[in-house]
Structure 1
Amino acid sequence: MTAAAMDVVQLSRLQFGLTAMYHFLFVPLTLGLALLLGIMESIYVMTGREIWRQMTKFWGTLFGINFAMGVATGITMEFQFGTNWAYYSHYVGDVFGAPLAIEGLMAFFLEATFIGLFFFGWDKLSKVAHLCVTWLVALGSNLSALWILIANGWMQHPVGARFNPDTMRMEVTDFAAVLFNPVAQAKFVHTVSAGYVTGAMFVLSVSAFYLLRGRHVDLAKRSMTVAASFGLAAALSVVVLGDESGYTTGENQKMKIAAIEAMWETEPAPAAFTVFGLPDLEGRHTAYEVKVPWMLGLIATRSLDKEVPGIRDLVARAESRIRTGLTAYAGLEAFKRDRTDAAARAKLEAHAGDLGHALLLKKIRPDILAATEAEIAQAAWSTVPPVSPLFWSFRIMVGLGFGFITLFAVAFWLACRRRLDAHPAFLWTALLALPLPWVAAELGWYVAEVGRQPWVIEGVLPTFLAVSSVSAANVRITLVGFVAFYSALLVIDLYLMGKTIRLGPEALLDPVIVAPRPAPLPVAAE
């Protein structure tokens, strides 16, 4: 490919990556606050205590601000599939488009409809009816995440679809396989649990702020109690479900596991997990490794008797698949010249699973059937994603995860002893920890998406082939525009959230109409 074409690829990747990262600043908080609102309002309905209604309305206002910003940043992402990734949309639109369409029709409309009833139905619906509305908002938020992650999971592990040479596109063969894709299901439960941690940390941190200021103490204590118990359960779930996600990745994306581990050589059973090391990309080894025996084997293979393949062996496998893919590509070219050539079609279908690997050569030369051994080796090494960034991003994310467990465990213990406001050091820690769930979530998405490179669809379609035929200048202009617009939205979001928190729940209390005091009656003169 030409330098200009690669420039378009890199700019398009940067644009989509930045918009996705901006969007994911709002998604986790929406997921977490939605369930917390359901819990708080459930307590209000069961107890009838007005403070729980006040809590639901206060945190609901913050939820609404965040939800609006999430919608504004999310809509443009879907349009980018047509503007920046047109060939991707053409090639896999039959598969990828279905979950996104269902997400819009089933989940987003459900959530958007009932969020209006949540805000404007307090005095128009019964307590139980309004509670049902709140839980339907939470259900819509989670269903939205489910369908989006089903689509994303298919990009990580494409199942239930095949390449049709008659249409030159991927087509669905088994929608149930797409729906119940193990990678998608593991990503869903892990991602929403991370969102629950974010929501719980937000409530915990803002409540700690109020307790440090001595304001809204009753609301803050109750909110912290709910956040501590919910957050502890969610943080534990993230670790457990993250382990499941690691297993599905080890089964289906072995190169991603090897890159995350900076594991250049195959790790014999029982495979050890590298806690610390310094990846050397030039020498293709990792120095100063500190390992935990058996741990990687348990995570990636659920066993102690299976090896975990390293980068060098996986590159050798990729090289073999490229050669097999060239056979499929030769069959495809012959079939395109003569659609009645049954032998060419049979050759293609026999090796279609490796066709994507042969397409990696198009980054090096257009006539890939004439590729040299050196070019095949170069294409095979291109299947290695950035090792050092993945290695450190994963470890920071995991370290933060265990930190959340510790923080929520302390909060839960203090809540049980009714001592939440007795330790300023803890309150300051809870307040300063506010941004950390977002850091962990963004790192998690970085690991998931960059770890898949060079594929936009794992093993099927290289990223550099998926872009639209647009100029680099156009992508640069829209990139600057998106960054400026999204940054403005982020500033507005932070301002509105900060203003609402500073005003506190009293600003949301229903106004009390006080009748004017009557003037005293005139007293008759004696």
Structure 2
Amino acid sequence: MEALDLARWQFGITTVYHFIFVPLTIGLSLLVAIMQTIAVRAKDPVKADSWTRITKFFGSMLIVNFGIGIATGIVQEFQFGLNWSEYSRFMGDIFGAPLALEGLAAFFMESTFLGLWIFGWNRLPKGLHLLTIWMVALGTTLSAYFIIAANSFMQHPVAAVFNPETGRAELDPSQGGIFALLTNVTTLAAFPHVIAGAWLVAGCFVTGIAAWHMVKNHKRAEDQALTSEDQAAAAHLAKNVWRPATRFGVLVMVLSAVGLFASGDFQGKLMFEQQPMKMASAEALCHTETGANFSILSVAGPRAFSQDCADISHIIEVPYVTSILATNDPNATLKGVTELNAEYKEKYGATAVDASGKTVEVDYRPNLFVTYWSFRLMIGFAIFCGILAVWAFWITRGKGKNARTSGSTWFARFAILAIPMPFLANAFGWIFTEMGRQPWIVAPSPDGDPLVRLLTMQGVSGHEGWQVIVSLVVFTLLYGVLAVVWYYLMHKQAVKDIKAPRSHLAKESAAPAELDTPTISFGY
């Protein structure tokens, strides 16, 4: 394999690995802030105690996830100056601006306030302590925005011009400069979709773990081998701690699903305009069609991993849906991969000079197999969350004294099974976004400076293949070790049940001081 292929593999591995932690941190920081807000505002001391315990339980996992996310994120960004130095040289004046803002404004904010939140329990006033976790949630959201702004420039360059004297792309103040960069329409479309995806991850995470504990405590409450006090404590945990947490996660999943649908529809229509090749590849639309169908299932021949459309056969299709998704017009004409490839060769050239100075032929078609299936796996894995939300909502129905908990083993197993599914959906969403943009590392903008563009083969550093192999192997092994550590810490915290307070049978008039609220656990 050439250095280019190895560099792409390394960036892909480190990015997908890093993005395991990102959506959970973004979503869980907001959910923990809401949990603590419910606890602080609750007038019922038993309710306040329950939500405080829930806050600290999931807050402990937020801390572990945040820590490992920092380590993997730093490695990801360093690659721009190591394996992709030509890209950094050409686009660094623009691409570096949102990354700098992410580090200086967002990352320091979330790190500082997370420290205050961790050590501020019983030291800071309740209102001020609550503010710290909300600042963490704001910081993670801002961090996501700046990163999306940087990535969106690669998808759709704005406010940039090519300077022939320096041979670099530069921000153009006459086109809005940094403000235009941060308000790129692609950013405004992608950001709510990414945030909604993070909420889905966190909502499914909370629901899955809480549901498992609810079932476990429901069974303990019915276990005649236990003392009456232990049975009562388990019943209290199942009904007053884990059931509310389960339903809270369900509500988050429902809201995130609405956000994903709305933002995904807008983003898809925009992508058909800005990167028609990506969307044509996502549908395996090989030739221009009027009233294009949506492919649910397609199969490919021996050359499935190539860009060749000749091997693809559509098995199950829904009439006109792709045209509707693209333009809201069922009879709209959409260009196919073959025609777009010919058009791009005429517009941008059939050959290009790579980073080593060689002239090579250019094929503007991405890998159809990866693009097609990553788009469908993104949607398919998210469906598990929908099933969990409906099942959890039904199984915990009722209010007040009629509020139900469940001892269903099958429900508990499915709840655990569903937890990794939105992580995979997010990962495949990014694989689709980045692989579908190939062969561009910065795709040309239909309405911008035509010279502000860069092929992936032009952005790589001039390393020897063996050098990239060494770093690829080292990082992969290191990340494997970190994955084991992360799983151990998260699993250790997740299976640790919350202890019922001594006053779990207390009346509503009980004073808050009577409730035995534990301190936060760091998980290590």
Superposition TM-score, scaled by structure 1 size: 0.83
Match of 1:514 in 2: none
Partner of 1:448: 433
Bigger mean CA offset, 400-409 vs 92-101: 400-409
> Is the counterpart of residue 410 in structure 1 residue 391 in structure 2?
yes
Q: Which amino acid aligns with 1:300?
A: A
Q: Does residue 311 in structure 1 map to residue 364 in structure 2?
A: no
Q: RMSD of the TM alignment (CA)?
A: 2.1
Q: CA deviation digits over 1:193-228, x for unaligned, max 9?
A: 111111111111111221232264232112101101
Residue 121 of structure 2 aligns with which residue? 122
Note the C-alpha offset of 1:283: 5.8
Amino acid paired to 1:123:
N
Structure ID, larger Rg: 1
Aligned residue type for 1:277: S
State the partner residue of 2:418: 433
2:303 aligned with 1:274: no
TM-score between both structures, scaled by the size of structure 2? 0.83
Aligned to 1:69: 68
Cα distance change of structure 1 residues 176 and 294 upon mapping to structure 2, 3 Å threshold: farther
Tell me, what secondary structure is at the counterpart of 2:334? coil
Q: The residue matched to 2:412 in structure 1 has which SS? A: helix
Tell me the alpha carbon deviations over residues 367-396 of structure 1, each in whole angstroms, 9 at most, x when there is no partner. 75xxxxxx7xx52xx110010121122112
Q: Deviations over 1:96-153 (max 9, x none)?
A: 0000000111110110000011111111222211111111111111110110010001
1:387 corresponds to which letter in structure 2?
A: L
Q: Percent identity?
A: 37
| Cα deviation 1:284-318 (Å, max 9, x = unaligned) | 25314322122212212233343111011101211
Give the letter for the 1:464 counterpart. M
SS at match of 1:505: coil
Work out whether 1:201 is the aligned partner of 2:196.
no
Secondary structure of 1:42's match? helix
Where does residue 392 of structure 1 map in the other structure? 373
Preserved CA contact (<8 Å) 1:267 1:309: yes
2:12 pairs, out of 17, 38, 59, with 17
Question: Structure 2 counterpart of 1:113, which letter?
Answer: T
Partner AA of 2:90 in structure 1:
Y
Q: What are structure 2's unaligned runs of at least 5 residues?
A: 218-233, 445-452, 501-515, 520-524
Quote the residue 2:229 is aligned against.
Answer: none
Q: What SS class does the counterpart of residue 289 from structure 2 fall into?
A: coil
Which segment is superposed worse, 484-493 or 146-155? 484-493
Aligned to 1:27, which of 10, 22, 26? 22
- Find the counterpart in structure 2 of residue 499 from structure 1: 492
- Inter-partner Cα distance in structure 2 for 1:481 and 1:367: 30
Q: Distance in 2 between matches of 1:222 and 1:440?
A: 26
CA distance in 2, matches of 1:411, 1:307: 43
Give the SS at the match of 1:304: coil
Aligned to 2:465: 472
Q: Measure how far apart 1:243 and its partner are.
A: 1.6
CA distance in structure 2 between the partners assigned to 1:115 and 1:145 by the alignment: 17
Q: Could you give the per-residue CA deviations for residues 440-473 of structure 1, whole angstroms, max 9, x where no partner exists?
A: 1111111011111111111310111111122222
Between the aligned partners of 1:420 and 1:264, the Cα distance in structure 2 is 51
Give the C-alpha shift of residue 509 in structure 1.
4.9
| One-letter amino acid matched to 1:7 | E
2:261 and 2:382 mapped to 1: Cα distance? 7
Alpha-carbon distance in 2 for matches of 1:499, 1:319 = 55
SS of equivalent residue, structure 1 residue 163: strand
Measured in 1, the distance between the counterparts of 2:284 and 2:100 equals: 38
Distance 2:109 2:397 in 1: 37
Q: How does 1:505-520 map to 2 (within 5 A)?
A: 505-506=498-499, 509-510=517-518
Distance 2:356 2:456 in 1: 16
Matched residue, 1:192: 195
Q: Which one of 24, 42, 50 corresponds to residue 37 of structure 2?
A: 42
Alignment match, 1:419: 404
- The one-letter code sitting in structure 1 at the alignment partner of 2:3 is V
Q: 1 CA distance for matches of 2:149 and 2:5?
A: 25
| d(CA) in 1 for partners of 2:181, 2:314 | 42
Equivalent residue in structure 1 for 2:246, among 224, 229, 244 = 224
Report the residue type matching 2:260 in the other structure: V
